[in-house]
Structure 1
Amino acid sequence: VKTNNGFKVVGPSSQKVAFAQPDEKVVYFDLEVGDINGIGKVTVTATSGKEKASYDVEIDVMNPNPVTVNYKELVLEPGKSATIGWEAFGVSGTNKAVLEVSSFPSIDFNRRLDYLIQYPHGCLEQVTSGAFPQLYLADIADIDQSRKNKIQKNVTAAIQKLSQYQVANGGFSYWPGNMTPDDWGSSYVGHFFIEAERKGYALPMNAKKQWLAYQSKTAKQWRYNEGYHNDFAQAYRLYTLALAGSPDISSMNRLRETGGISNESKLRLAAAYALAGQKNVGLKLLNQSSIEPDDSRYQYYYYGSSERNRAMALETLLLLGQKEKAFAMANKLAKQMSSDQWMSTQTTAYCLYAISKFAQGNGPKGIDIQYTVKGKSATITTAKTFADRVLSADGKTVSIRNNKKSTLYVKVVYSGVLPIGQEQVEQRGLGTDIVFKDRKGQVINPSVLSQGTEFIAEVTISNLKNESVDNVALMQIIPSGWEIVNTRFTDFGDFADNKVDYTDIRDDRTNFYFPLKANESKTFRILLNASYPGEYYLPGVQCEAMYDNSFLARTQGQWIKVVR
């Protein structure tokens, strides 16, 4: 047996097997996994007399811990020089460092965009959010052709994936396979499709036509329901129809004359009127509104936040030609985006989208710097607003000189994956408990299990607050030596009838998505099999509310063994 740097053979790397007649036998080699992330390769060679055969096996070597990101930043005045230092951390092969330079206050574009791209869950909103801001990166940033090609690949893949969420009536469901369209999500996907088509991307056949028919029919059938705060969703729907060149003026007028609609609805409706060529009506609505979001009721129902609603307000200000107000709003958003403040996928994507729209036609442009890493110097000269360059992760320092006559905003974003056992344990708003049982329901210790043992993991998630929470995501990653028994395709289909909105079963993990009422607990059961002898790491439970960072739980993992 031979390996690359992904594995190391522990003990003898060759063994002899004798056969008195045609037969098959099993021999075992102990392999130790290297401290890397990547593809491990094992070559098995069998020799008998003059005959020889070999087989290559490629195995993913993955650290289950999430990427940890940090940054250092400074403001560089005209003609000045400065140095930024950082300490690389994490497992070898996961370390990255990127130099970001902007002529506009930093919006942390790469860190925020990477968060969207690496987000592990795949609902309608998150797939859309991962691709949406990438449409505009080349417009505002100095990026090379390879990154442009990667963006094109990402956006095309997202468009194709989203087509799987479209249901018979033309709307889009929150999870694939669901038959009910998601109100806000259907408008959000359509918004993305329109912008992508304008950038030259091909949409699935009839997808846009069916979506337009659904939006138009739903807009006409809409009735105000104060209990569901559905005026904001209607305003966004009407905005997307206007953006698509099919404004529904009568429905827009009906919403405008409806009493009690929210501030956010008025601002979104103002944008719809501007797109429909009635800017004067849009300005009247703007004057009746506050550009500062003031009603949290309208955030949670539609995956939003105050920052997301500010980003939508920024877009409205741009459409109505309110440059001074737009500049002030863009600066406020940039400050929030460059901070450590948590943002959901929806908030992150819409902020990046709105700031990109702003940067295309407003604000200072142009970058001219010289930077030095490990004794090697390079320059960045561009007319774009933003530029970045990948640095050597172990460079530790970078010196930058600003050759422009305007202020530049400089940041080094560095990241890595923490070693096994060093994951960050957190708990707020959610309680977790995991118990392992045999098929008879008796509690067992998973530390050492015999090969072939079939057992059950019971994970209980508790809402510790006196308020309900939607869109909770539970991710349980399993050790490489265990296998998930997908009970949907076995005789045990009913035993794990977990009450969830959606279940995503993969080779190495099971994801559950569900709501929790105030102080409610839910238990989820996963059927497992101890399949491969060896010592492996069982990651802790990871659970979060995808749109509310006050609900989060991560627990410590443990080492387990599967024995023959």
Structure 2
Amino acid sequence: MYKEFREQTVSLSTSPFVFSSGLLKFLNKYPHGCTEQITSKVLPLIALGDNSPNAFDRNEAFKIIIGKYRLRQLSSGGFSTWDNGSYVSEFNSMYALHFLTYAKKKGYNVPKDMLNDGLRWIRSYLNSDDDNSMWNAKIKAYGIYILTLNEEVTTGFILNLTNSLDARYQDSWKKSIASSYLAASYKLLHEDKMANELIKGYNFDRDIKQDERHYYYYSDFDTSFVNDAIYVNLVNSHFSDIIDLNNDKTISRILNPIIDDDYSTLLSSYSVLALSSFNENKSNEFDLKAYDKEGKEIALEKSDKSMFVTYELPKNVYKISSSKSDLYYVITSQGFEQNIISEKSSEGVEVTKEFYVDGKKVTKVKKGDEVEVLIKVRALNDKENYNMAIIDLVVGGFEIKTESFSSDEIEHKDLREDRALVYLTVDENVKEVRYKVKATSKGKFTIPPVYLKSLYNKYVNAVYVKEPYFEVE
């Protein structure tokens, strides 16, 4: 990053809960906004309440998300992924309704019609025959748990689902997160014997492979580490009397994907809730010292914006140290990257971008000219890659003609002053996105790369780099 514009802080604690500070900042700054992502941004704030480690305005965040939900709740009571969507996303619906249930229990003014319509949709979904896969069974188990949290008697739904799972998967399903949701539901229904038996089924004690995230990636919302964080939350909420997860193994399980830079908004949200069980009143007195590149000590100032010991790091800091060894710390950086990607790459998918005037490729036009931007994407991995985002930064000296956007194969678009964000599913068939830009300033402008990335799987992404410059005469 450019040192002149870089802002850095370091937060320290003897508790791993300090990682939630960085995760909440990540969620707050996250640039995309599907229903899961906006929910993940606010759910931890509401759940933690005054224990939230960052000074975010929870009430304002709640008002904003309710407004968004109004644009996404359909007549069936379920929720779409994006504003004014036309079809229900089952997981996004469950997650939004879980949030509304959380918020209601925390005393927030949840619209009755919104929650009641949503619970009606859950009942309808549970009565459907759409349970022919383990993923749908997990969604149904999640729905049963949400209904039970809302003080509904769900014994019939539980029996129907367990009978179906027994017939299809024998006992193997009891190792999945579905069993944990059903166990928590039994616990809420005061069926302790069934609850205590089921909660021990989830395979939390398995040996972790170094590349588990890659091989246990079932779908965008269903990964081994997301399920681990859900399990920790369910145990700490309902089974802390018989299962103690406040140990180093649990900490390692939650922190590993974060340390490996392999986390999504969903995993971040659940991880904050899981880490909250380690929010103990431990000593936070440290002798932190900072040094510049020549080894000269630099004075540090504490920040009052966090419940942790947090220091603002001067721009010339080269090294920090403390005599206390058993510390968890998070360094948060914000600024502008110096290194611009100069080579194209494709991992699972590919993207290309060209500029056209009257059907001819161009990289030089006159001021006032309109240029068509054509972006093409396709999959290389023989899969349907859901929740993909095209991030196309606009060349300097141009402005987007928003009314010119054309594509029948996208799910949502967000056209901003400096970029076009397009969300879609990418498969082996080539898909095209077209829009126009107008040259408004003369000069020679760098052509930024165009990115295609999964919002949940870091192993699926592509970058396309074109000629270095676009000239406007």
- State TM-score, norm by structure 2: 0.84
Once residues 342 and 335 of structure 2 are traced to their aligned partners in structure 1, the CA distance between those partners, rounded to angstroms, is: 12
In 2, are the aligned partners of 1:292 and 1:310 still within 8 Å (CA)? no
Tell me the CA shift for residue 149 of structure 1: 4.7
- Give me the whole-angstrom Cα distance separating, in 1, the residues matched to 2:447 and 2:303: 45
State the distance in 1 between where 2:145 and 2:353 align. Answer: 46
Q: Percent identity?
A: 20
Which residue type is aligned with residue 430 of structure 2?
Answer: S
Displacement of 1:367 in angstroms is: 2.0
Q: Aligned partners of 1:555, 1:104: CA distance in 2, in Å?
A: 42
Query: Which residue number corresponds to residue 209 of structure 2?
Result: none
Q: Which residue of 2 aligns with 1:178?
A: 85
Q: CA deviation at 1:520?
A: 3.2
Q: Are residues 1:121 and 2:41 paired? A: no
Cα distance, 1:168 vs structure 2:
1.6
What are the superposed Cα offsets for residues 424-448 of structure 1, whole Å, 9 maximum, x if unpaired? 8653222222121113x222x22x3
**CA shift for structure 1 position 165:** 1.3
**SS of equivalent residue, structure 1 residue 549:** coil
Q: Is the 8 A contact 1:160 1:204 kept in 2?
A: no
Q: How does 1:161-560 map to 2 (within 5 A)?
A: 161-204=68-111, 206-219=113-126, 221-223=127-129, 225-227=131-133, 229-258=135-164, 259=166, 260=168, 262=173, 263-291=176-204, 300-301=218-219, 303-318=221-236, 319-321=238-240, 322-325=242-245, 327=247, 330-356=250-276, 358-360=277-279, 365-373=282-290, 375-376=298-299, 386-400=308-322, 402=324, 407-419=326-338, 421=340, 426-439=345-358, 441-443=359-361, 445-446=362-363, 448-487=364-403, 496-517=406-427, 519-556=428-465, 558-560=468-470
Amino acid aligned to 2:312: V
Say which structure is richer in strand.
1
1:365 deviation in Å?
3.3
1:90 corresponding residue in structure 2: 2
Query: Displacement, 1:542?
Result: 1.0
Q: Indicate conservation of the 8 Å contact 1:140/1:359, yes or no.
A: no
Q: Distance in 2 between matches of 1:553 and 1:538?
A: 16
CA RMSD of aligned residues (A): 3.2
Q: Distance in 2 between matches of 1:123 and 1:512?
A: 12
Alpha-carbon distance in 2 for matches of 1:120, 1:468: 23
Residue ranges of structure 1 left out of the alignment (5+ in a row) = 1-88
Whole-Å separation in 2 of the counterparts to 1:246 and 1:214: 14
Q: Cα offset for 1:172?
A: 0.8
Q: State how far apart, in whole Å, the 1-side matches of 2:7 and 2:456 are.
A: 27
**8 Å Cα contact 1:127-1:162 kept in structure 2:** no
More helix by share: 2
Give the distance between the partners of 1:462 and 1:485, measured in 2 at CA: 25
Aligned length: 451
Structure 1 distance, partners of 2:408, 2:379, is 17
Measured at CA, do residues 435 and 418 of structure 1 come closer, stay the same or move farther in structure 2, by a change above 3 Å? Answer: same
Task: Name the aligned partner's letter for residue 366 of structure 2.
Answer: S
DSSP-derived class of the 1:548 partner = coil
Runs of 4+ in 1 over 4 A off after TM superposition: 136-141, 292-299, 372-375, 377-381, 422-426
Displacement of 1:234: 0.2
Point out the structure with max Rg over C-alpha: 1
**8 Å contact kept, 1:368–1:379:** no
**Does the CA-based 8 Å contact 1:296-1:305 persist in structure 2?**
no
Please list every run of 5 or more consecutive structure 2 residues that lacks an aligned counterpart in the other structure.
Answer: 207-211, 291-296
